[in-house]
Structure 1
Amino acid sequence: MALFGIFGSKGSSEKKEKKELPWLRLTRMEQLDEIVEISKTKTVVIFKHSTRCGISSMALRQFESKYAIEPDTINLYYLDLLSFRDISDEVGIRFQVYHQSPQLIILRNGIAVHHASHHSIDANRLHQFI
């Protein structure tokens, strides 16, 4: 039996399904030029994630659980900023967004139209930028 839903329940047949999002890994500097071109016809999202940060992991899980956009509507890019720090730095310079982690950057027509970090990252706001 769950205690106020905190510890789960024994014998519960309900399992949370993990949502698989169509993440594209941002691993090459050349992809930034591609992203700019794509953003001229389609909304592009870059999620900058620190794999060593608990807050970043929580923000990513929350984003994924609330994401409800039709496939092929948005291109989602995942950037492991610890492995690709040079790309992370270039994202900040190119799109004129101060670096934070975790960070969500929304691009349209080659420019950042919205960015959020930490607890301000909200998948529900994406509909405004489609």
Structure 2
Amino acid sequence: MAELQNLESTEDLKKAWDRSKDKPVLLFKHSTTCPISAGAFEQYQRYLEEAGDEIDAYMVKVIEDRAVSNQIAEETGVKHESPQIFLIQDKKVTWHTSHSKITADSISDAIKQS
């Protein structure tokens, strides 16, 4: 199972970007007050339970760590949404989606196609 790590600073985010040079990184933007985000987070966790250690998994709480969330939007050029997930490889976003499109199956498919 991939271990989920919280990104709480822009320095944490930089380390996650750097890790994407070694292996794929999944980055989940989560609103702790939103029921849609809660459902997407359950799907993310379901995927991670089955995933091996071939990926690194991260989460940003968008309300609590707004600066990190804003930095992700700036660095990726992808408009902020919540919930939102990114697959990052070699410091490039290779897939992203949001809201109800975040499912264990959609994540798995994105990883397989990368």
TM-score, structure 1 as length reference: 0.77
> Which protein shows a greater Rg?
1
Residues 103-118 of structure 1: pairs in structure 2 closer than 5 A = 103-118=84-99
Alignment counterpart, residue 79 of structure 1, candidates 34, 46, 60: 60
In terms of mean alpha carbon deviation, does 98-107 or 33-42 score higher? 33-42
Identity %: 29
How many residue pairs match? The answer is 110
Give the TM-score of the pair, scaled to structure 2: 0.87
**How is 1:31-50 mapped onto 2 (pairs within 5 angstroms)?**
31-50=12-31
Consecutive unaligned residues of structure 2, counting only runs of 5 or more, are: none
Deviations 1:47-83 (A, max 9, x none): 000000000001111222244211x211100111100
* Residue aligning to 1:69: 51
Q: CA RMSD in A?
A: 1.7
Structure 1 residue runs of 5 or longer lacking an equivalent are 1-19
| Aligned residues of 2:2 and 2:56 also touching (Cα < 8 A) | no
Aligned partners of 1:21 and 1:39: how far apart in 2? 14
Q: Secondary structure at the match of 1:30?
A: helix
Pick the structure with more helix per residue: 2
